[in-house]
A and B are shown apart, each in its own frame.
Chain A
């Protein structure tokens, strides 16, 4: 027998820690159907009963306005749930009890966990648990979640309750007073005319939501055949209550609930003492008027270096290992289609997926740490003014900055933003922030066409252009997509707490594995597709393969010194690959779309081989750094500079042979910055936004915007007399 326990509570009440303590490592992370809210569930066994625990999103209320609340209410009201476990933060009891007053209305047995009792005691708050249990009408277990205190007792209690053997449950609901209760009864009577409606949720709960003017409740009613009767009764109730009690329904209901919570707290808890809490002392420094911002920048710098400097070390190992594997395989297998699929398609594809894992895990670990300590809310508090100007939320700042390391984990980092609108906009503009992979392309191109100082300026300009565009697009998308008022910035600043290492590690592991399973397949598929586009049909040409093999044999037969022989072998390989790539499907695509790109990359129509840029840009779709290595193949020139020379053979070839001028090179850089996010970013947007539509939108607007700005670059440059 499996029984389902829904874990409900406010944000920051220690729900997730308790969930981990209950279910251990055995849990599953997925999405709630149809939405992008994470669904975490796990099981534990007690006394022969298997209990499935479902961790609901943390909410302050069940008013079903936000995505999180809708998910929570819908699940709580479903017959699937046998038992509700409400986690209460003992150090913030009154506000936590507001949600409890709603949970008690849902008609399911409710048990309570009084968490963080130690925090409350440190603040001088002592809670009379037996008295609270009596007044709430449900069993209460005091715990300290991060020390796993009281967990066994809790499991025991859940077991007996779920089997219906507990006698500690009495159903208690808030008494809304004579007038409101009278109107509630009348509304319930009308609701009960529709049996289906009556069965779908407790009539009293629906009546309360109607009094609160809840949009979702009104929608449910509008589908009922009793709609007219209910609506009329509601109008009568409002007409009676509002003048009589001096406020609208929503205020009255909230007041009564808080009245109940306030009365309870007065009854069972001692008042906190006046001494300054550790949180207040820390905040005096961390959100200080002058020091707040420098400290935040320091935290950001630390997080950035941990993720992208420290994270680069295992990333390089992975990349090197795969490169070695690919070289090893290439040397052992005969040249041909299958070898190429393996060496140029599958191995780099798998590598392109796995290299992200260390960075994702470290960055997500840092963010989870900041969230769990409570600093994330302060970071948003500090930066909100600036981000608000951009039409975004204070919490959007961190993903945008992290985007300059790598867009992929940055988009995942946007998950800390509660409002779905703000989160979506942040995800859609993050790809405009220039990442370290694009930096590699800029270094090669700028280094070729500009003097070192001008090149440095051009590269910095690209980064500012990216950030500036993110700001502009943020504002534009906000007004274009969501014309309504932006979601309210009513954010709790929770007390600082030291997170548990175990929780952070579990979180990192989850993020890494979710990336591998959900985004990994897309990235791999994309990499294989691009391999196909850039190798066929040439790779299947037997004559070319045979010629190449003969060349290799011929070189080997010359008995040259090792160094020279290897150089010649490399040159032959490059020539062979170049022939394939330059006649590939991607090359044909390049010739087809060349007229479109002509205004930005070849304004004077002097470049015979401008279509070759398209091959490099197509390859850049897999990962931007591949643009450089593809150019090396296209132009048959190595990307590694010879000793003592500033420019690599590739750069020399680009300067002398590609026909790009400094101005069109700059336009090329602008286009590379914007034209499309890499496949990893696209896969992540798809996963986090929950639909291909937004991923496609990002690619689409990137291409249009990239072309437009590159065109502006060329037009402006020519107007100013540059070539």
Chain B
């Protein structure tokens, strides 16, 4: 999977990997995401989606995290070939 333009994290499929380009969220959500490791260049891998399709589970900085679509759609990532 090679693409040049960054896409929202919510579009990645389970198994896909990416690098964080930008956190577009504002305020409290933004600060929280930064603290949890969503900084420029951070590598992440989408693990799976919850049985009802939302939220998603991903691995970043070596730990597992779950994000709702609301939050994952405002994180831009550059897909990276696993």
Interface residue ranges, A against B (CB under 8 Å): 60-61, 63, 65, 92, 94-95, 98, 212, 214, 247, 250-251, 254-255, 258, 272, 279, 287-290, 292-293, 377, 380-382, 384-386, 388, 485, 487-495
- Among B39, B54, B57, B71, which residue has its beta carbon within 8 angstroms of that of A488? B71
- Among A92, A251, A292, A489, which residue has its beta carbon within 8 angstroms of that of B23? A251
Of A98, A288, A495, chain B has the most CB atoms within 10 Å of the CB of A98
Query: Quick check: A382 and B50 within 8 Å, CB to CB?
Result: yes
**Cα distance A380–B55 when bound, in Å?**
10
Query: Quick check: A63 and B50 within 8 Å, CB to CB?
Result: no
**Cα distance A488–B25 when bound, in Å?**
10
**Cα distance A250–B33 when bound, in Å?**
11
Query: Quick check: A491 and B65 within 8 Å, CB to CB?
Result: yes
Closest 10 A/B residue pairs (Cβ): A385-B52, A254-B34, A493-B64, A488-B29, A61-B35, A292-B51, A489-B68, A255-B39, A385-B54, A92-B63
Query: Quick check: A385 and B53 within 8 Å, CB to CB?
Result: yes
**Cα distance A214–B34 when bound, in Å?**
13
Query: Quick check: A488 and B55 within 8 Å, CB to CB?
Result: no
* CB within 8 Å for A95 and B37 given contacts A287-B48, A488-B28, A492-B64: yes
Interface residue ranges of B20-56 to A (CB < 8 Å): 23, 25, 27-37, 39-40, 42, 48-55
Number of interface residues of B (CB under 8 A): 35
For chain B, what secondary structure do more than half of its interface residues adopt (helix, strand, loop), or is it mixed? mixed
Query: Quick check: B71 and A384 within 8 Å, CB to CB?
Result: no
> Can you sample 30 A-B contacts with CB below 8 Å?
A65-B28, A92-B62, A92-B63, A94-B62, A95-B62, A212-B31, A214-B31, A247-B40, A250-B31, A279-B64, A287-B50, A289-B49, A290-B51, A292-B51, A293-B51, A377-B66, A380-B66, A382-B51, A384-B50, A385-B52, A386-B52, A485-B28, A488-B25, A488-B33, A489-B71, A491-B66, A492-B36, A492-B63, A492-B66, A494-B64
The 8 A CB mask of B53-82 against A (1 = contact, 0 = none) is: 111010001111111101100000000000
* 12 extra A-B contacts, CB within 8 A, seeds A63-B35, A293-B51, A382-B51: A95-B61, A250-B34, A254-B39, A258-B39, A287-B50, A384-B52, A385-B53, A388-B54, A488-B32, A490-B32, A490-B67, A492-B63
**Cα distance A61–B50 when bound, in Å?**
27
- Among B28, B37, B49, B57, which residue has its beta carbon within 8 angstroms of that of A258? B37
Query: Quick check: B71 and A490 within 8 Å, CB to CB?
Result: yes
**Cα distance A384–B50 when bound, in Å?**
9
* CB within 8 Å for A489 and B35 given contacts A250-B30, A287-B50, A382-B50: no
- Among B28, B29, B50, which residue has its beta carbon within 8 angstroms of that of A385? B50
Nearest-Cβ distance from residue B60 to partner chain A, whole angstroms = 9
**Cα distance A531–B23 when bound, in Å?**
60
Query: Quick check: A490 and B50 within 8 Å, CB to CB?
Result: no
Which residues of chain A come closer than 8 Å to B28, judged between CB atoms? 65, 485, 487-488
- Among B35, B53, B71, which residue has its beta carbon within 8 angstroms of that of A60? B35
**Cα distance A253–B42 when bound, in Å?**
15
**Cα distance A152–B14 when bound, in Å?**
45
Which residues of chain A come closer than 8 Å to B36, judged between CB atoms? 60, 95, 490, 492
**Cα distance A61–B35 when bound, in Å?**
7
Which residues of chain B come closer than 8 Å to A61, judged between CB atoms? 31, 35
Nearest-Cβ distance from residue A116 to partner chain B, whole angstroms = 13
Nearest-Cβ distance from residue B53 to partner chain A, whole angstroms = 7
Nearest-Cβ distance from residue B45 to partner chain A, whole angstroms = 12
Nearest-Cβ distance from residue B68 to partner chain A, whole angstroms = 5
**Cα distance A495–B33 when bound, in Å?**
20
Which residues of chain A come closer than 8 Å to B55, judged between CB atoms? 381, 384-385, 489, 491
**Cα distance A485–B68 when bound, in Å?**
14
Nearest-Cβ distance from residue B56 to partner chain A, whole angstroms = 9
Which residues of chain A come closer than 8 Å to B27, judged between CB atoms? 485
Which residues of chain B come closer than 8 Å to A292, judged between CB atoms? 50-51
**Cα distance A524–B52 when bound, in Å?**
44
Which residues of chain B come closer than 8 Å to A492, judged between CB atoms? 36, 63-66
**Cα distance A95–B66 when bound, in Å?**
15
Which residues of chain A come closer than 8 Å to B63, judged between CB atoms? 92, 95, 492, 494
- Among A98, A380, A494, which residue has its beta carbon within 8 angstroms of that of B35? A98
Nearest-Cβ distance from residue B33 to partner chain A, whole angstroms = 6
**Cα distance A426–B55 when bound, in Å?**
20
Query: Quick check: A493 and B57 within 8 Å, CB to CB?
Result: yes
Query: Quick check: A288 and B51 within 8 Å, CB to CB?
Result: yes
**Cα distance A424–B34 when bound, in Å?**
27
Query: Quick check: A63 and B31 within 8 Å, CB to CB?
Result: yes
**Cα distance A141–B18 when bound, in Å?**
36
**Cα distance A386–B53 when bound, in Å?**
10
Complex: chain A residue closest to B42, CB-CB? A258
Query: Quick check: B51 and A251 within 8 Å, CB to CB?
Result: no
Which residues of chain B come closer than 8 Å to A288, judged between CB atoms? 51
**Cα distance A114–B66 when bound, in Å?**
25
**Cα distance A63–B66 when bound, in Å?**
21
Query: Quick check: B68 and A388 within 8 Å, CB to CB?
Result: yes
Which residues of chain B come closer than 8 Å to A488, judged between CB atoms? 25, 28-29, 32-33, 68, 71
**Cα distance A490–B17 when bound, in Å?**
19
Nearest-Cβ distance from residue B12 to partner chain A, whole angstroms = 17
Which residues of chain B come closer than 8 Å to A94, judged between CB atoms? 37, 61-62
**Cα distance A377–B66 when bound, in Å?**
9
Which residues of chain A come closer than 8 Å to B40, judged between CB atoms? 247, 251, 255
Which residues of chain B come closer than 8 Å to A493, judged between CB atoms? 57, 64-66
Nearest-Cβ distance from residue B10 to partner chain A, whole angstroms = 13
Which residues of chain B come closer than 8 Å to A247, judged between CB atoms? 40
* CB within 8 Å for A65 and B31 given contacts A95-B61, A384-B54, A385-B55: yes
Query: Quick check: A485 and B29 within 8 Å, CB to CB?
Result: yes
Nearest-Cβ distance from residue B14 to partner chain A, whole angstroms = 10
**Cα distance A212–B37 when bound, in Å?**
15
